Structure 1
């Protein structure tokens, strides 16, 4: 796979929790850190995502926001 995004982190899928239309996919990236992504159920099915599988988390910087008071 070749992609222009530079923020790529390889990990292992911990679990996939499906909702009505979207799923939460939790990926263990090591060192006790877990990244959670919200993607469509269709994407989960098409990619065959399941616990124990390897995955690459791709983060597009313009789409990540964090705020605190």
Structure 2
């Protein structure tokens, strides 16, 4: 796999919550951090995502905003 995205995080699918149209996929990274992605049910099926399977979170964004409470 070769991508232009700079942020590619490898992990294991921890949990999948299937909805009517979309599914929430929880990807556990090394160290225990969990990244959640919302994708279509078709994407879950076509990628063969299942709990325990390795997958990648690919993050491509032109900007990331940060905020703090005052």
TM-score > 0.5, shorter chain as reference:
yes
Deviation at 1:30, TM superposition (A): 1.8
Corresponding residue SS for 2:44: helix
Greater fraction helix: 1
**Structure 1 partner of 2:41:** 41
Greater fraction strand: 1
Unaligned ranges ≥5, structure 2: none
Q: List structure 1 segments (4+ residues) > 4 angstroms apart after TM superposition.
A: 63-69
| 1:29 is the counterpart of 2:25 | no
Unaligned ranges ≥5, structure 1: none
Deviation at 1:32, TM superposition (A): 2.1
Corresponding residue SS for 2:46: helix
Distance 1:66 1:46, change over 3 A: farther
Deviation at 1:11, TM superposition (A): 0.3
Structure with larger Rg: 2
User: In 2, distance between residues paired with 1:44 and 1:64?
Assistant: 26
Using the size of structure 1 for normalisation, the TM-score is 0.87
Using the size of structure 2 for normalisation, the TM-score is 0.86
